[in-house]
Chain A
Amino acid sequence: MITVKKLKKSFDDKIIFNGFDLSLPDKGTYYISGPSGSGKTTLLRIIAGLDTDYEGTVEHDGVISYVFQENRLIPSLTAYQNVFEVCRDKEKTTYLLKEVGLEADSDKYPAELSGGMNRRVAIARALAFDHDILLLDEPFTALDGEIKKSVISLIKEREADRLILLVSHDESEADALSCERIEFR
Chain B
Amino acid sequence: MKKRAKALPAPLRFLLVFAFWVGVWWIISAIVGKEVLIPSPPVVTVHLIGLLKTSDFYLSVGMSVLRITAGFAAAVLLGVITGVLCAVSKTADALLSPLFSVIKATPVASFIILALVWINKELIPVFISALMVLPVIHGNVREGIKSTDKELLEMARIFGFSKKQKLTRIYLPSVAPYLTAGVKTCLGLAWKAGVASEVLCFAAYSIGNKLYQSKVYLETADMFAWTVTVIVISVIIEKLLMSLVVGNRSRKRYDNSKKTEKVV
The residues of A with any CB-CB pair to B shorter than 8 Å are 48-50, 63-66, 68-77, 85-86, 109-112, 115, 118-119, 125, 129, 138, 141-142
The CA-CA distance from A71 to B152 in the complex, in Å, is 9
Interface centre among B151, B173, B252, B260 (most CB of A within 10 A): B260
CB distance from B150 to the nearest CB of A (A): 10
Residue of chain B at shortest CB distance from A74: B169
Is the CB of B243 closer than 8 A to any CB of chain A?
no
Question: Are B151 and A109 in touch, CB under 8 angstroms?
Answer: no
Residue of chain A at shortest CB distance from B154: A50
Sorted nearest first, the 5 A-B pairs with minimum C-beta distance are A76-B173, A72-B155, A86-B159, A111-B258, A142-B263
Interface centre among A68, A69, A76, A115 (most CB of B within 10 A): A76
Which one of A48, A73, A141 lies within 8 Å of B260 (CB-CB)?
Answer: A73
Is the CB of B165 closer than 8 A to any CB of chain A?
yes
Interface size class of B (residues with CB under 8 A): 20 to 34
The CA-CA distance from A179 to B180 in the complex, in Å, is 50
CB interface residues, B 245-264, toward A, < 8 Å: 252-256, 258-264
Across the interface, which residues of B come within 8 angstroms of A142, CB to CB?
Answer: 263
Across the interface, which residues of B come within 8 angstroms of A72, CB to CB?
Answer: 151-152, 154-155, 260
The CA-CA distance from A22 to B256 in the complex, in Å, is 39
The CA-CA distance from A71 to B262 in the complex, in Å, is 7
Question: Are A69 and B255 in touch, CB under 8 angstroms?
Answer: no
Which one of A64, A85, A118 lies within 8 Å of B261 (CB-CB)?
Answer: A118
Which one of B157, B169, B252, B261 lies within 8 Å of A71 (CB-CB)?
Answer: B261
Question: Are B159 and A70 in touch, CB under 8 angstroms?
Answer: no
Which one of A68, A76, A112 lies within 8 Å of B155 (CB-CB)?
Answer: A68
Question: Are B151 and A68 in touch, CB under 8 angstroms?
Answer: yes
Across the interface, which residues of A come within 8 angstroms of B254, CB to CB?
Answer: 75-76
The CA-CA distance from A48 to B151 in the complex, in Å, is 14
Is the CB of B170 closer than 8 A to any CB of chain A?
yes
